[in-house]
Structure 1
Amino acid sequence: MTRLIVAAGGGGDAVAAAMLDAALYGDDGNAVIFTYAWDRLLIDPLPGPRGVANFTGLEPMTPAVWSVPATARPIAPAGSTLPRLAAELPHAFALIDPHHGAEGITRQLEELVNRLEPESIDLLDVGGDILARGDEPTLKSPLADALILAACCQVNAPIRLLVAGPGLDGELSADDLRGLLGPLVHTFTAKDVEPISPALEWHPSEATGMLAATARGVRGTCEVRDAGLPIALTDESPRVHEVDLDEALSRNQLARSILATTTLDEVEAQSRQICGFSEIDYERNKAAWLRDQPTMPMDPEATLSQLDQFEAEARSRGVTHTTFRHLTETLNLNGSQRHDLRQLVINNRPDQYDAPLWRLTTQRLSRPDEAHC
């Protein structure tokens, strides 16, 4: 029997879906993960999600659904983490193509359900912004979640909505979500993280990275994103709760407004009207700005010195951890330099690596070349 897990957000939710599948159902990998190819600008220089037309090597599953095998490739300049996930994880990855709106995704889901006849269907959202009304001032990326929620509510099949890591996406706080969450389904542990540990070494997802870190016991305050948003890492963070799907739809104004949409442009228009913005507009503006920024070679000594300064300032704000995505942005490095930065700081200060997060020191550590000065 096949299981179907729908990842509500971008690539990070797909990684979390693989962890959830192993934790709840075992590690046979007999699951299909239905997910967006939307890795944001750190991986993909093009704004918005990728569709079928942005890949070569996809394999047809149904007339409207294509899988992303390890041999698939995004067409330059687009980028995607999905082929590498397909190479490293035992699951099959089916592509959510949102360019035909909620009606298009509904059709894709219906075809998948008819083809697979899955024993279970779980819709997974890391963080909980799928439960947003749409007018919250902290809301940053409601579009993907609202789209998939709108589609799932129109499919004639039982779908269980699960929220993992309440508040970890920095959109709604754990306090805001507490009264909206249903029964506890699972609490992730360090053992649950093991199947996805290799992927966490390179995948840029902040929310799933924090979810995994808290499953391993990390607690504190983690600074994320380009803006340095503080996220509380608590005993609630590794938990997975069930939420009533219909109640989520009745709360999510954007999802209700896009039920009959047939284009992504329509979805964006509704997001601008209800939420006051479209996150793809933000990506368009940032992508245009990034194109004008020169990529300078990374100077290891200067970078470690900048890291010292960042850590001192962050500690004064009560921060205990950060992500490598945030470090890359705050040290004014290009997204393509994230891996080199990660290797540099881990090689120099391995005791600060709380995989996959970076732990701030309580005091400055000497670098190896300073040890005998």
Structure 2
Amino acid sequence: MTRLIVAAGGGGDAVAAAMLDAALYGADQHPTVILTYAWDRLLVDPVPGPREPDDFTGLEQITPMVWAVPAEARPIAPAGSTLPRLAAELPYTFALIDPRHGVEGLTRQLEELVRHFFPVSIDLLDVGGDILARGDEPTLKSPLADALTLAACCQVNASIRLLVAGPGLDGELPLDDLRGMLGPLVHTFTADDVEPVGSVLEWHPSEATGMLAATARGVRGVCEVRDAGLPVPLTDVGPTVHEVDLDEALGRNRLARAILETLSLNDVEAYSREICGYSEIDYERDKAARFKGYPPTELDPVAALSELDDFENQARSRGVTHTTFRRLTEALNFNGSQREILRELLISKRPGQYEAPLWRLPTDA
């Protein structure tokens, strides 16, 4: 007997799904399949948008439309993906969401998995809560993936529970906007719940899941994220998991309702541009084009530490207490391939500021 967890938005939700499985179901010994996008954004993958099966070698077929990404799989250059490493480090089957055929294609993938595994439970997990967005919120940045999975899950003939972990931690919808939509408390993550994915958090670039883990470990304050430096409060609500009515979520999410009958990712993007005013894949295309052809800046440790001091002084003036390593990498003008080098440098030179997996700003000027 198998459990199925659908990671609503990408690689970070897949890591959170592993946390959730260990916390809620770890004692029952049922194997768990995590269905997820291979969509790691430009920090890991220089190719805009989500990856599809043809972007990998070494996949293992589960059903006619669903492939697993084992540890031996490799993305085909220039694409990148964290999924093979996740499969190597975590005891789960990571099945690949293939968004090429829109919501109808993803619905068929889910239906095949249900017929193949007869899962004892199906959870749709979103970290942050942007799956509950209307589509017109000014802080909303990445509605497409969540809307696609929500629309598909609402059409599958099976009982699916929608769970929102870390309300507000993705920086897409303010916590105050989410409170009235959250249903019963399912779980509050603790430091012990983080341990099964602790080694993954040392290298995985997800900001929302990183903050989810940090709040579970007791970190509180204001964390700055993304290239735009969005401030995200780290509060006692951060480590909580709430159930949300699936049909109510669909009724609220205009993009999810609009794409129910889509047959391609291009169609989904077109609706996103119409309803939300943009497609996040367009943003990735524009960003990738801006940086194409620019060689990475060589990381000078002395200069990097000096620039870090300047950044920290400015961030403290904004009321920031923590930042993600993705934010630091972009704020100091390094590219994604240098993120791990920068992280190792900062931890070795200023170890007291590392509050895993976030970077704590010093309180003294």
Q: What is the distance in 2 between the residues matched to 1:200 and 1:296?
A: 25
Name the residue aligned to 1:66.
67
Task: Please say if residues 38 and 50 of structure 2, whose CA atoms lie closer than 8 Å, have aligned partners that are also in contact.
Answer: yes
Q: Tell me the CA shift for residue 29 of structure 1.
A: 7.1
Q: Matches of residues 1-373 of structure 1 in structure 2 within 5 Å?
A: 1-26=1-26, 28=29, 30-363=31-364
- The structure-2 alpha-carbon separation of the partners of 1:41 and 1:29, relative to structure 1 and needing over 3 Å to count, comes to farther
Structure 1, unaligned stretches of length 5 or more? 365-373
Q: What is the distance in 1 between the residues matched to 2:328 and 2:208?
A: 15
Letter in 2 for 1:93: F
- Per the alignment, in what secondary structure is the counterpart of residue 139 of structure 1? coil
- Per the alignment, in what secondary structure is the counterpart of residue 111 of structure 1? helix
- Per the alignment, in what secondary structure is the counterpart of residue 339 of structure 1? helix
Task: Please say if residues 29 and 91 of structure 1, whose CA atoms lie closer than 8 Å, have aligned partners that are also in contact.
Answer: no
Task: Please say if residues 29 and 90 of structure 1, whose CA atoms lie closer than 8 Å, have aligned partners that are also in contact.
Answer: no
> How far does the alpha carbon of each residue in 1:102-155 deviate from its partner, in whole angstroms, 9 at most, with x for none?
000000000001101000000000000000000111110000000000000000
> How far does the alpha carbon of each residue in 1:239-260 deviate from its partner, in whole angstroms, 9 at most, with x for none?
0000000000000000000000
- Per the alignment, in what secondary structure is the counterpart of residue 179 of structure 1? helix
Q: What is the distance in 2 between the residues matched to 1:323 and 1:235?
A: 19
Q: What is the distance in 2 between the residues matched to 1:318 and 1:279?
A: 28
| TM-score normalised by structure 2 residue count | 0.99
Q: Give the CA RMSD over aligned residues.
A: 0.8
Q: What is the distance in 2 between the residues matched to 1:199 and 1:295?
A: 25
> How far does the alpha carbon of each residue in 1:138-187 deviate from its partner, in whole angstroms, 9 at most, with x for none?
11000000000000000000000000000000000111000000000000
Q: What is the distance in 2 between the residues matched to 1:145 and 1:308?
A: 37
Q: What is the distance in 1 between the residues matched to 2:48 and 2:9?
A: 15
Task: Please say if residues 130 and 149 of structure 1, whose CA atoms lie closer than 8 Å, have aligned partners that are also in contact.
Answer: yes
> How far does the alpha carbon of each residue in 1:197-231 deviate from its partner, in whole angstroms, 9 at most, with x for none?
00000000000000000000000000000000000
- Per the alignment, in what secondary structure is the counterpart of residue 329 of structure 1? helix
Q: What is the distance in 2 between the residues matched to 1:148 and 1:289?
A: 30
Task: Please say if residues 2 and 30 of structure 2, whose CA atoms lie closer than 8 Å, have aligned partners that are also in contact.
Answer: no
Provide the identity percentage.
77
Task: Please say if residues 320 and 359 of structure 1, whose CA atoms lie closer than 8 Å, have aligned partners that are also in contact.
Answer: yes
Name the residue aligned to 1:369.
none
Q: What is the distance in 2 between the residues matched to 1:9 and 1:29?
A: 24
* Runs of 4+ residues over 3 Å off in structure 1: none
| TM-score normalised by structure 1 residue count | 0.97
Q: What is the distance in 2 between the residues matched to 1:291 and 1:339?
A: 21
Q: Tell me the CA shift for residue 362 of structure 1.
A: 1.1
Q: Tell me the CA shift for residue 363 of structure 1.
A: 2.1
Aligned residues: 364
Q: Tell me the CA shift for residue 294 of structure 1.
A: 2.5
Q: Tell me the CA shift for residue 347 of structure 1.
A: 0.1
Q: What is the distance in 1 between the residues matched to 2:296 and 2:224?
A: 24
Name the residue aligned to 1:368.
none
Task: Please say if residues 22 and 29 of structure 1, whose CA atoms lie closer than 8 Å, have aligned partners that are also in contact.
Answer: no
